[in-house]
Amino acid sequence: MEKNVSVENFTNLDIRVGTIIEAKDFIQAKRKAYQLVIDFGPIGIKKSSAQITEQYKIMDLIGKQVIAIVNFSPKQIANFMSEVLVLGIYHNAKVVLISPDIKVNNGDKIG
């Protein structure tokens, strides 16, 4: 069922572009995941847990630009604090990351 979202609700989301600068296996997570460190330029370096191990190898993630919601409340996952929500598309039961098709500045705002 679709939910209508007001423009005000959408504009409350701070969605930005960042570049993954570090990725490693998240061994303590209940579900297979990576720990990502993402550079968002002027708003700084943020961390995220991402269940994308089936689609991506660590070496393919380094330097990849991604889209993330940067103003979600941090979430403790095992021994790791996930600060942002990296956005993706569910495709064949796997997550495909959303990213710009040309290089843009880290911290550029979506919306």
* CATH code for the part of the protein at 12-101: 2.40.50.140
Query: H or E element: which one contains 22?
Result: strand 15-25
Q: Mind giving me the DSSP string for 9-21?
A: HHHTS-EEEEEEE
Domain boundaries, the chain: 12-101
Predicted confidence at residue 101, as pLDDT, reads 95
pLDDT of residue 29: 87
Beta bridge partners of 97: 88
pLDDT string in tens for the chain (111-residue length): 678 888 888 888 999 999 999 999 999 988 899 999 999 999 999 999 999 999 999 999 999 999 999 998 999 998 999 999 999 999 988 899 999 999 999 999 997
The length of the chain, given as a count of residues: 111
